[in-house]
Amino acid sequence: MNLFDLTGRTALVTGSSMGIGRALAHGLADAGARIVMNARDADRLEEAAADLRNRGATVDTLAFDVTDAEAVQAAVNAYEDTRPIDILINNAGMQHRGPLEDFDVSAFDRLMRTNVNSAFYVGQSVAKHMIPRGEGRIINIASVQSALARPGIAPYTASKGAITNLTKGMATDWARHGLNCNAIAPGYFDTPLNAALVADPAFSDWLEKRTPAGRWGKVEELVGAAIFLSAPASTFVNGQTIFVDGGITASL
Domain ranges in the chain are 2-250
In whole angstroms, give the CA distance from residue 13 to residue 103.
Answer: 30
Average pLDDT score over the chain = 97
| Catalytic hit among 79, 121, 156, 188 | 156
In whole angstroms, give the CA distance from residue 236 to residue 175.
Answer: 9
pLDDT at 1 over 70: no
* Collapsed DSSP state (helix, strand, coil) of residue 10: strand
pLDDT at 2 over 70: yes
Name the residue type at position 252: L
In whole angstroms, give the CA distance from residue 53 to residue 215.
Answer: 31
In whole angstroms, give the CA distance from residue 96 to residue 196.
Answer: 11
Name the residue type at position 89: I
In whole angstroms, give the CA distance from residue 210 to residue 247.
Answer: 9
Residue 156 appears among annotated catalytic residues:
yes
* Collapsed DSSP state (helix, strand, coil) of residue 37: strand
DSSP-derived letter for residue 84 is -
110-146 pLDDT, tens digit per residue, is 999 999 999 999 999 999 999 999 999 999 999 999 9
**C-alpha 242 chain-centroid distance:** 12
What's the pTM value of the predicted model, to 2 decimals?
0.97
Number of other residues whose CB lies within 10 A of the CB of residue 8: 9
pLDDT band at 194 (very low <50, low <70, confident <90, very high): confident
Model pLDDT, residue 196: 87
> What Å distances lie between residue 91 and 16, 17, 23, CA to CA?
7, 11, 11
CA dihedral 169, 9, 38, 89 (to 10 degrees): 30
Domain range 2-250, its CATH number among 3.40.30.10, 3.40.50.720, 3.30.750.24, 1.20.200.10: 3.40.50.720
In whole angstroms, give the CA distance from residue 151 to residue 157.
Answer: 10
46-101 pLDDT, tens digit per residue, is 999 999 999 999 999 999 999 999 999 999 999 999 999 999 999 999 999 999 99
